[in-house]
Structure 1
């Protein structure tokens, strides 16, 4: 007996058992009978179900994609499913998958590299959920509503209402990701003068100082072309001899000032969406590249004058729920709550 001989009801069960959109499409393209056995509405349901398994929570992607000025953000929106919506969701999920790849490097830095591992399916889903939610928060309150005063009461109320729709555990995951983005920005995008100086070889420090202070640059210094400095992540040249963006950044990124200046800069950069931060990580090599990107993306002259509001909103919501915020942050640092839980769940239960 071949699959063509199976009853339509059994073939539907086969389609429903597939765990990825590509598998459903591949089976549908096997023959005309398989392609026509599912009505369009049922195909969409299967596609979104499979997409949720591998890239979800799809519900949070939908909330991100359907943000608008006519509905409160904390009210869940249920648009009709469509292939256009699925295509947009796929582009969002592509960014989240990249963060799933990067997260272990920041969760277990060089000093803890022996513990580094890939995220399991549940951890990856928690990370993606936090990405979609921070992305929605950023779009709503730091980009489209940029000129709303930070003390505006309706805007503050709306921000807090959005965070109140999430459980304590989900808020801890949100802060875990926010802290990871802080680390990425502080080490890769806007490092301090001291960090930049300390991580380069001693024999190259004089040359690096000449980049920081042009009047010290030796006459024989060789300038590097823009194409060599500004690596595009879409380049097809994967030659082992070609340095990565991260390697180029270590060589050429200038410092952004002192530790205190770095703190405020990072808070400003957290107003960028996860997609924008990822673009900087994958493309920006020099400080000028970062500054030009910020100018082009935000069109905001005062971008660096104020930081993200997410942390203070997070604190306000947890305080209102009677949660000890310092204890919650210590639990995140200890790995007893957050996206990846290494040391048991007792602390998590105490903070719920």
Structure 2
């Protein structure tokens, strides 16, 4: 049976299961399909946006975090930022979408989709034989983590905010803490997992230290000048933590479009003179929130529940074994669980022989 012979009701039902690109392409195939879309345009487009780039509330908050203040009276930077956070906190659970808003959402959603494509490579960095495509609910978790990360970056890692080198969040009324408190426990777990993988990507792939180049990549000493970013000390960890202020779009650019140390050095230099002198605060904010709000970690400590809080570099080659908590963006398979148990038994007697690496500075 041809799709052109289907009733309008069935066509509208088909639209509900399409992504935004397919919905628009289907509407262009005939006048009937176009009129079907126009009949319930906004509900169909909203569902298609959810299918493509959901969850939508987090995506709308991300768009708002980059929207300029429409007030005509002059405002200070801090007051303007407070207004932005208040707008995000007061947003409804099901925000009303407009065509103009959807266009902006698509731009951010495309970047989140690139993270979905990249994530299996990050998640199964060492156990590549377990690597697979993400399931639909896992894609939503990646989207949510990317949107929350990006919202925080827009608000609190921009140049106007970081040029004053703000302290780490500690007070409950801190705007950064107020924003993170709006995240559910599962969203905090997923966000911490994303930060963990970003940290590994920065440390192992993008901006490796001298030791990482020698130990992890197995490169000779003569390669240090072309690949490494210095010895693991206060200077290196300060650079490392300043890079964590970059947005998800910037990380995608570094991963996909830079290959050499000089290209990445040029990118960092383009961020401004103050960029390397101020630290990212999201990870510390997650840690403070977990301790103060007592998020659900079951029988595990905050360090075990939130992988980004403490990275044990003595077990850096352990892939899925890092996850000691039940939560996570991607579920472990039975094969992975058996592999974890086997590796732990093998390493339990050798753990004291590992040479500890210098802990990163928060």
- Whether the TM-score (by the shorter chain) exceeds 0.5 is yes
Instruction: Report what 1:255 is aligned to.
Output: 229
Q: CA deviation at 1:21?
A: 2.0
Alignment partner, residue 15 of structure 1? 15
Give the alignment's TM-score, normalised by structure 1. Answer: 0.74
- Output the TM-score relative to the length of structure 2: 0.72
What is the alpha-carbon distance in structure 2 between the residues aligned to residue 139 and residue 194 of structure 1? 33
Partner of 2:256: 282
The answer to whether structure 1 residue 39 and structure 2 residue 38 are counterparts is yes
- What is the distance in 1 between the residues matched to 2:293 and 2:216? 43
Report the Cα offset of residue 306 of structure 1.
2.8
Asked if residue 328 in structure 1 is aligned to residue 305 in structure 2, the reply is yes
SS of match in other structure, 1:93: helix
Query: How far apart are 1:284 and its partner, in Å?
Result: 2.1
Pick from 241, 249, 258: which aligns with 1:267? Answer: 241
Alpha-carbon distance change, 30 to 175 in structure 1, aligned in 2, over 3 angstroms? same
**Superimposed CA distance per residue, residues 69-89 of structure 1 (whole angstroms, 9 cap, x where no aligned partner):** 333243326765333332322
More displaced stretch, 254-263 vs 173-182? 254-263
Alignment of 1:173-252 (within 5 A): 173-198=190-215, 205=220, 208=223, 212=225, 252=226
* 1:169 is aligned to 2:174: no
Aligned to 1:295: 269
SS at match of 1:256: coil
Change in Cα spacing, 1:106 to 1:38, as seen in structure 2 (3 Å) is closer
Q: Does 1:305 align with 2:277?
A: yes
After TM superposition, give the deviation of residue 104 of structure 1 in Å. Answer: 1.8
Tell me the CA shift for residue 282 of structure 1: 1.4
The aligned residue for residue 158 of structure 1 is 175
Is the Cα–Cα contact under 8 Å of residues 100 and 124 in structure 1 kept in the other structure? yes
Displacement of 1:197 after TM fit? 3.6
Deviates more, 1:64-73 or 1:48-57: 64-73
Post-superposition Cα deviations, 1:264-309, rounded to whole Å, max 9, x if no partner, equal 322111101011111111122233322221232x32x232223211
Residues 288 and 37 from structure 1, CA distance in 2 versus in 1: closer, same or farther, beyond 3 angstroms? same
Aligned to 2:110: 94
Aligned twin of 2:25: 26
- Give unpaired runs (5+ residues) of structure 1: 213-251, 345-352
SS of residue matched to 2:166: coil
Match of 2:97 among 71, 78, 81: 81
Residues 336, 342 of structure 1: 8 Å contact kept: no
Q: How many residues align?
A: 296
Give CA deviations for 1:306-327 in whole Å, capped at 9, x if unaligned: 3211111111111112344124
- In 1, the alpha carbon distance for the partners of 2:187 and 2:275 equals 29
2:305–2:324 Cα contact (<8 Å) kept: no
Q: Which runs of 5+ in 2 are unaligned?
A: 68-79, 296-300, 308-320, 335-362
| Number of the residue aligned with 1:133 | 148
Query: Would you say 1:314 and 2:314 are equivalent positions?
Result: no
Matches of 2:120 and 2:37, distance apart in 1? 40
Q: Provide Cα deviations, 1:116-156, integer angstroms capped at 9, x if missing partner.
A: 22221111110111001100101100115334551499996
